[in-house]
Amino acid sequence: MKNLFGDDDDGIISPEVLTEMLSEAFAPDELYRQTKNMMWSMVQYKEMQMVYECALKEIRTKFDVLNTEFELQHKRNPIASVNTRLKRTQSIAAKLIKYRVPFSLENIEKHVNDVAGIRVICSYIDDVYKIADALLAQDDVTLVEKKDYIANPKPNGYRSLHLIVSIPVFFADGKKEVKVEVQIRTIAMDFWASLEHRMRYKHNIPEQASISAELKQCAEVIADTDKKMLSLRDRIEAAEDAPTEEDILFEKLRRLDMPIK
């Protein structure tokens, strides 16, 4: 038998050695069939990832357009930041195992709604719902599922608005409806969720129950702060004189030279 790692001993099995190993394990016809099927599966999985990446570009563009509109036409912008991510293969496999279904492209599309994910961070609680309504009002966005963890927080204190939407992605040979998970939350909610996520994935943490209880208390404090900040903003805006038509015109003229991002 040849050196399994080739002449360079660099940890990479050479094609010749791999072919020899597989030939000894399988009959030639079976080897060819299995190898070809494996290669096709790899290609199709990569193509599926490309489809979800394109869906993220489409949904990101929608929020970028809303962002630009609010910057040019309103006194403040409700969107603080936007981030996208494609779910890792390991996480997809773990979710399918949880659902007790085999790993396949069909099962991924059917059972895993968050392969493509986008997170929109807003300044205030009412901005969360304003942005969600603006997205869902678009005629090519279909709401598949909605979970309002702001109105109904998770037991650990987690808060966020989750939407599963379906959007069309256009390709050279047609279009495909693709599901995307949209998470919309405030800056304060994101701060808590990010820290809680890091702690939750640490292993062998002492006083787990006590820490979980204190994290939930922190979530309550942050939620109260969100509400107070919204109340303060409303009080400040209510105290301002209502803008005249001329005020609105001059404000819009002032924004004419703002760069369009």
CA–CA separation, 153 and 161 (whole Å): 10
CA–CA separation, 45 and 42 (whole Å): 5
CA–CA separation, 158 and 186 (whole Å): 12
What token pair was written down for 150?
């702001």
Strand, coil or helix: what is 123?
Answer: coil
Q: How is the chain split among helix, strand and coil, in percent rounded to 5?
A: 55, 20, 30
CA–CA separation, 93 and 112 (whole Å): 10
181 classed as catalytic? yes
CA–CA separation, 132 and 147 (whole Å): 12
CA–CA separation, 214 and 199 (whole Å): 12
* List 16, 145, 181, 245, catalytic entry: 181
The residues, any chain, with a CB within 8 Å of residue 258's CB and separated by 6 or more, are 71, 72
CA–CA separation, 62 and 56 (whole Å): 10
Catalytic residues: 181
